[in-house]
Amino acid sequence: MEVTQINLNHCDTAQQLLWQVASETKCDVAIIAEPYQVPPNNGNWVTDKAKIAAITTLGKYPFQEVVSSDYEGFVIVKINDIFVCSCYALPRWTIEQFDQMLHNITEELIGRNPIVIGGDLNAWAVEWGSRFTNARGFSLLEGLAKLNIRLVNEGSTSTFRRDGRESIIDVTFCSPSLASNINWRVCDDYTNSDHQAIRYTVSTQSPLTRRVTRTSCKKWKLKEFEKNLFIEALQVERIATTLNAKELTDVVTRACDVTMPRVTIPKNERRPVYWWTEAINTLRTSCLRARRRMQRARTDTDRAVCREVFRVARAALKHEIKLSRRNCFRELCRDVDANHWGNAYRVVMAKLKGPSTPQETCPDKLNSIVEGLFPQHDPTSWPLAPYDDNEDFVERVTIGELPLSKS
């Protein structure tokens, strides 16, 4: 399960770029701090009480359970049998508020396994590459010690960058069973936020189990099978009286290829976001290049010039994204007049039908859902009516007691 962890800094452009990057990297789950906007009534999103920490599913894994979403600063869900926690601690919080959030997280996660905790906690500690450990760092390490988890931050690459200042305040913890092959890394892609995206892979299976080998079995579209054509194809082969297993397999394979087309294996590629263009891709590359030059500038004069170049490039990217989204919406509106059942109809129906969350397929989980919706009750023993044994009951009812309709 591919996970992206990022603080969007309440920025619309950063959130839009996240969707495109998720499509490029085939991300399944996004752990988000400070989202710009949370879509209403969307089953792919879960947020905390204050909507400053969120988790959204982007791939084939649906939410199995919402463990906790009533507190401020963190949300916990179960995805693919893994308990995922997204958390964000505001810089203005007192140490007491910070400790209370940590206490609530540990209370919700004690006894649950495996666990992934990620977010921007605005805490410094030498354990994850900071120059020193502050009060929040001590509290974080001490508070999460109650859980059987490990810190998976690697290296000293900064996760927060703004105006030449850098720090590591985005951290990730996980259970030991997930830590060995998590492949945690800070990506240098342009995010339009003052935080860098963090990506890693989590799975409850070992690498040998997760390794998928493409078998050599061949499949054909059996719906297009024609018996007579298949027989003719075998006759053309002029099959010998004695064939070994490989020769017989080759003969049948060639006959099947003549008779019906093969089944194509999908490549599981995702489409880019609807507004993505080559111009936006070029501007994103320009922003990344300008930001790197600004960060590497040695003198104040060079840094001021590079900062202005970066500011212009960033403004151009924001403008192009808004313009592209606006043009796509106008094109969608024009499509309604020309084709009532086109893209506009599909967009509206997708909103009415709800989110495109993958359906649950596990038999045990489906059985528990059905049992919860339709519980089994013991049969009720109703008392006997007083007239059950009275055969003359019907005869004692007179015609005058019956309601007659007036014609």
Tens-digit pLDDT profile for residues 173-184: 999 989 888 989
- On whether both 105 and 61 belong to a single domain, the answer is yes
pLDDT at position 231 is 85
Place of tokens 């040998």: 208
pLDDT at position 318 is 93
- On whether both 74 and 19 belong to a single domain, the answer is yes
pLDDT for 120-152, tens place per residue?
Answer: 999 999 999 999 999 999 999 999 988 989 999
**Could you tell me if residue 405 is left (phi over 0), alpha (psi between -120 and 50 degrees) or otherwise beta?**
beta
pTM, full prediction? 0.71
pLDDT at position 208 is 47
Alpha-carbon distance of 96 to 221, in angstroms, equals 64
Angle (deg, nearest 10), helices 135-143 and 95-109: 20
- On whether both 16 and 51 belong to a single domain, the answer is yes
- On whether both 16 and 133 belong to a single domain, the answer is yes
Domain that holds residue 197: 2-205
* pLDDT greater than 70 at residue 353: no
pLDDT at position 334 is 83
DSSP state for residue 255 in the 8-state scheme:
H
Alpha-carbon distance of 276 to 254, in angstroms, equals 44
pLDDT for 283-321, tens place per residue?
Answer: 999 999 998 888 888 888 888 999 899 999 999 999 999
Give the pLDDT band (50/70/90) at residue 60. confident
* pLDDT greater than 60 at residue 187: yes
As for how many domains the chain has, the answer is 3
* pLDDT greater than 70 at residue 39: yes
CATH number at residue 129: 3.60.10.10
pLDDT for 81-97, tens place per residue?
Answer: 899 999 999 999 999 99
- On whether both 315 and 190 belong to a single domain, the answer is no
383: in domain = no
User: What is the secondary structure of 309-348 as a DSSP string?
Assistant: HHHHHHHHHHHHHHHHHHHHHHHHHHHHHH-TTSHHHHHH
Q: Would you call 129 helix, strand, or coil by DSSP?
A: coil
Give the pLDDT band (50/70/90) at residue 397. low
Contact predicate 292/248, CB 8 Å? no
Give the pLDDT band (50/70/90) at residue 216. very low
232: in domain = yes
Q: How far is CA 338 from CA 101, 331, 333, 335, 350, in A?
A: 54, 11, 9, 5, 20
Final residue before a domain boundary, out of 333, 353, 373: 353
Closest to 322 (Cα-Cα) out of 11, 19, 12, 8 = 12
Final residue before a domain boundary, out of 315, 333, 353: 353
- On whether both 101 and 24 belong to a single domain, the answer is yes
Please state, rounded to an integer, the average pLDDT across all residues of the chain: 84
* pLDDT greater than 60 at residue 355: no
Contact predicate 13/317, CB 8 Å? yes
- On whether both 248 and 341 belong to a single domain, the answer is no
- On whether both 291 and 235 belong to a single domain, the answer is no
Give the mean model confidence (pLDDT) for residues 16-23.
Answer: 91
* pLDDT greater than 60 at residue 119: yes
Give the mean model confidence (pLDDT) for residues 102-111.
Answer: 93
Give the mean model confidence (pLDDT) for residues 108-114.
Answer: 91
* pLDDT greater than 70 at residue 257: yes
- On whether both 47 and 162 belong to a single domain, the answer is yes
pLDDT at position 211 is 47
- On whether both 15 and 155 belong to a single domain, the answer is yes
The share of the chain scoring above pLDDT 90, in percent, equals 44
85: in domain = yes
Strands 185-186 and 198-201: antiparallel
Residue 135 Cα to chain centre, angstroms: 33
358: in domain = no
